[in-house]
Amino acid sequence: MNSSSTPNGFAELGIGGTLLAAAVRAGFEHPKPIQTLAIPPYLEGRDVLGLAQTGSGKTAAFALPILSRIAALGTKRLPRTARALILAPTRELAVQIEEVFRELAKGLHLSTALVLGGVSRASQVKRLHAGVDVLVATPGRLVDLVREKDVSLAETRFLVLDEADRMLDMGFLPDVKRLVKATHRDRQTSLFSATMPAEIEALAGTLLKDPVRVEAAPQSTTASEIAQSVVMARTRQKRGILAGMLAGDANGPVLVFARTKHGADVVTRNLERDGFAAAVIHGNKSQNARQRALNGFRDGSVRILVATDIAARGIDVPGISHVINYDLPDEAESYVHRIGRTGRNGADGIAVTLCDPAEVSKLRQVERIIRMRLPVTASHLDQPDPAPQPRERPVRAENADQRQHHRPKNPRSAPNGVHAAGRKGPHGKPAGQPREEAGGENRHALPRQLMDKPTAKKPFRNRKRRGNFRRQATKAA
């Protein structure tokens, strides 16, 4: 295909040849606004701060110009180095971004690799041995590989923080700072997100050199395709309301968000008791179970996925019809990302938030950052609480239900009191679950931090355990 003569808006932005053909093959015919804004300055070598709504094409806005620039280098990559580094806050998002790069890099003879926790380290190290063009990573594991000299970032001249405000939040910041410091001095840095609180943007400024700020929409703007509403209901009423929605209008692929890992387990269990098959994804699940749940949701074999905020950012599953917030998130920005799993790439979507009176202050915070009032379409507050269901004990605290159903035989085998995958390996440890699992990448949890909270264990020998991670991790994503 003579792609240079193909009429394509990406060609006008400076993307050409094999890469342009790959973009067309991937279904990218016409650039999205953020792509039109970000690609030309990126190709000129400028640092970029890119803000655009959820589902609006930020990934290709950095993937295309990075691949274009690397393809133009014409130099050989060095062993154990990475020319470009993309950092993402969750493993699932890193996997997804690497897939986009791999698809677009077809025919360019550029290599991609993934570094993430929760899966075999040896195969990652092996993959890095010859050096890679594009490395997509979550910070925790990469810090360890850099420290142990399995990879050097000294030749990394392209750096992207996807979900940048999250990556610069205090939970990830120490690791991200270490990694940034290890990259080449003359690197080109870009930060992308749908949200960017002012205090984080100030910090972002310290990583960027004379950046271009491109904004397809003011930060925290929700996609206009998403019909948002609030249903007022006491916590005890939410189970019945959710079941009613799933049996009614919400009959397509539905993503239900719960605030805590335990809460997500309880919602899933109750859905099953109410006759709905559902999968669950949160930071206490093994990486296999996490990816299996997400893949099932993607391929349609799972209609209802219950998740913590681990699935709130970046995950691109086309066709999700409803996002239901069973609880409001602690961090208002998470609302924007959660509901952004629907209404992507121009599709319609519905987002319903179940709000207990005690959560109204969180709702107001959300309304402040999205700069709009959310319509309350129903209220159940004048109705009595439902009678307890058979086999359902009154839940006093969140842990009550957990004790009933998930009492670990050996408490040490389940660091946060919840079994990871239900299977046991030798020594009572959850089988197939690496030491780093249980909490994801972020091991420096602070109250603001919701996703991928710290693991109870330090993953590698030369890391000292800091702080009271075990207790902090209990309620995390």
Ligand X SMILES: Nc1ncnc2c1ncn2[C@@H]1O[C@H](COP(=O)(O)OP(=O)(O)OP(=O)(O)O)[C@@H](O)[C@H]1O
Q: Which residue from 54, 221, 222, 270 is in contact with ligand X, where contact means CB under 6 A?
A: 54
> Binding of ligand X at residue 426 (CB under 6 A)?
no
Residue 60 interaction partner, one of ligand X, Mg ion, none, beta carbon < 5-8 Å per kind: ligand X
Taking the least distance from each CB to ligand X, the nearer of 38 and 266 is: 38
Q: Rule CB under 5 A: which of 24-83 touch Mg ion?
A: 58
Residue 467 interaction partner, one of ligand X, Mg ion, none, beta carbon < 5-8 Å per kind: none
> Binding of ligand X at residue 290 (CB under 6 A)?
no
SS (H, E, C) the chain: CCHHHCCCHHHHHCCCHHHHHHHHHCCCCCCCHHHHHHHHHHHCCCCEEEECCCCCCHHHHHHHHHHHHHHHHCCCCCCCEEEEEEECCCHHHHHHHHHHHHHHCCCCCCCEEEECCCCCHHHHHHHHCCCEEEEEECHHHHHHHHHCCCCECCCCCEEEEECHHHHCCCCCHHHHHHHHHHCCCCCEEEEEECCCCHHHHHHHHCCCCCCEEEECCCCCCCCCCEEEEEEECCHHHHHHHHHHHHHCCCCCCEEEECCCHHHHHHHHHHHHHCCCCEEEECCCCCHHHHHHHHHHHHHCCCCEEEECHHHCCCCCCCCCCEEEECCCCCCHHHHHHHHCCCCCCCCCEEEEEEECHHHHHHHHHHHHHHCCCCCEEEECCCCCCCCCCCCCCCCCCHHHHHHHHHCCCCHHHCCCCCCCCCCECHHHCECCCCCCCCCCCCCCCCCCCCCCCCCCCCCCCCCCCCCCHHHHHCCCC
> Binding of ligand X at residue 298 (CB under 6 A)?
no
> Binding of ligand X at residue 344 (CB under 6 A)?
yes
Residue 118 interaction partner, one of Mg ion, ligand X, none, beta carbon < 5-8 Å per kind: none
Q: Rule CB under 6 A: which of 87-116 touch ligand X?
A: none
> Binding of ligand X at residue 318 (CB under 6 A)?
yes
Taking the least distance from each CB to ligand X, the nearer of 57 and 65 is: 57
> What residue number has its CB nearest to Mg ion?
314
Taking the least distance from each CB to Mg ion, the nearer of 37 and 232 is: 37
Q: Mark the segment that binds ligand X (CB under 6 A) among 55-63, 119-127, 278-286, 431-439.
A: 55-63
Taking the least distance from each CB to Mg ion, the nearer of 31 and 314 is: 314
Taking the least distance from each CB to Mg ion, the nearer of 155 and 215 is: 215
Q: Which residue from 47, 98, 316, 441 is in contact with ligand X, where contact means CB under 6 A?
A: 316
How many residues sit close enough to ligand X to count as binding (CB under 6 A)?
A: 21
Q: Rule CB under 6 A: which of 19-48 touch ligand X?
A: 27-28, 30-32, 35
Q: Rule CB under 5 A: which of 298-317 touch Mg ion?
A: 314
Taking the least distance from each CB to ligand X, the nearer of 314 and 454 is: 314
SS3 366: helix
Taking the least distance from each CB to ligand X, the nearer of 119 and 336 is: 336
CB of 33 to ligand X, least distance (A): 10
Taking the least distance from each CB to ligand X, the nearer of 111 and 222 is: 222
CB of 334 to ligand X, least distance (A): 12
Q: Site residues (CB under 5 A) for Mg ion?
A: 58, 314
Q: Site residues (CB under 6 A) for ligand X?
A: 27-28, 30-32, 35, 52, 54-60, 194, 314, 316, 318, 340, 344-345
